[in-house]
Amino acid sequence: MRFVRQSRTIGVSNLDRKTRLMSSDMVRENCRHGPALPSSIRCIICGPSNCGKTNMLLSLIESPHGLRFENVYVYSKSLFQPKYRYLEELLESIDDIGNYAFSNNGDVIPPSEALPNSIFVFDDVACDKQNTIREYFAMGRHASVDCFYLCQTYAKIPKHLIRDNANLLILFKQDGTNLKHIYNNHVNTDMSYEKGGGSIRLIFGLKCRTFSIAFLNSRYQELPKTPYLNPFSLG
């Protein structure tokens, strides 16, 4: 293949700032969540059973430095668990916060019907149909809906539109197979597996330019600051 420079070119401009200036939601968009979090979130929280995934999610919801929202949607097969009952009681005690729960796949509303400035939690649904979840990870940002996918096995999460579109990973203890999947999805263009994947077990907090990874395990160490990687904590 041979590339030939043309005499006439088409410039490509970044119109993000111009379009934000046209939007009445500019201020809310720029400071939507706490400083440690992206303004628009497509998050995967992954780890084995009883490692603290739901606890981590509730901490993000409750923390004044965490998530900011007006509505919470939860799709889960385990709505009966005490922590979701606690979340329901918590949200119902707060005026002007909507709380909506689904246990059946067919009842989950599409992104076009979700209220803006919401968070949508998908928990314990890896064995169900994933089409609606894919829609949220692909289109949720345009509907002002942040997505959280909780799962025990990273490799079980569909790659198409869900893993590919995630911009925030919160990972608890992972085995070698799942670490390799994480490396192949998010790190392999930056460094070799021997340097990146092998060292991934030692990382406590890692924030890249466009991708954030939090490894929550007391035995992990914090990386020194570099121009590309900056340690961070969700605490």
Query: What pLDDT tens digit does each residue of the chain (235 aa) get?
Result: 788 888 888 888 888 777 766 654 544 455 688 887 888 999 999 988 988 899 999 999 999 989 999 999 999 999 999 999 999 999 999 999 999 999 999 999 999 999 999 999 999 999 999 999 999 999 999 999 999 999 999 999 999 999 999 988 888 878 888 888 887 887 776 666 665 544 444 343 344 434 445 554 433 334 334 333 333 333 3
Calpha distance 13→86 (Å, rounded): 47
Whole-model pTM: value is 0.77
In-domain check, residue 216: no
Say which residues have a Cβ less than 8 Å from residue 104's Cβ, sequence separation at least 6. Answer: none
Handedness of CA 229, 200, 47, 205 (dihedral sign): negative
> Is residue 17 one of the residues assigned to a domain?
no
Q: Which two tokens stand for residue 99?
A: 């709380």
Domain that holds residue 68: 41-192+200-206
pLDDT, tens digit (0-9, with 9 covering 90-100), for 44-99: 999 889 888 999 999 999 999 899 999 999 999 999 999 999 999 999 999 999 99
Is the residue at 22 inside a domain? no
Q: Please tell me what DSSP assigns to residue 230.
A: B
Distance CA 11, CA 125 (A): 44
The span from the CA of 19 to the CA of 136, in Å, is 22
How many structural domains are present in the chain?
A: 1
Cα–Cα distance for residue pair 28/14, rounded to 1 Å: 21
Distance between CA atoms of residues 161 and 172, nearest Å: 22
The CATH number assigned to the domain holding 136 equals 3.40.50.300
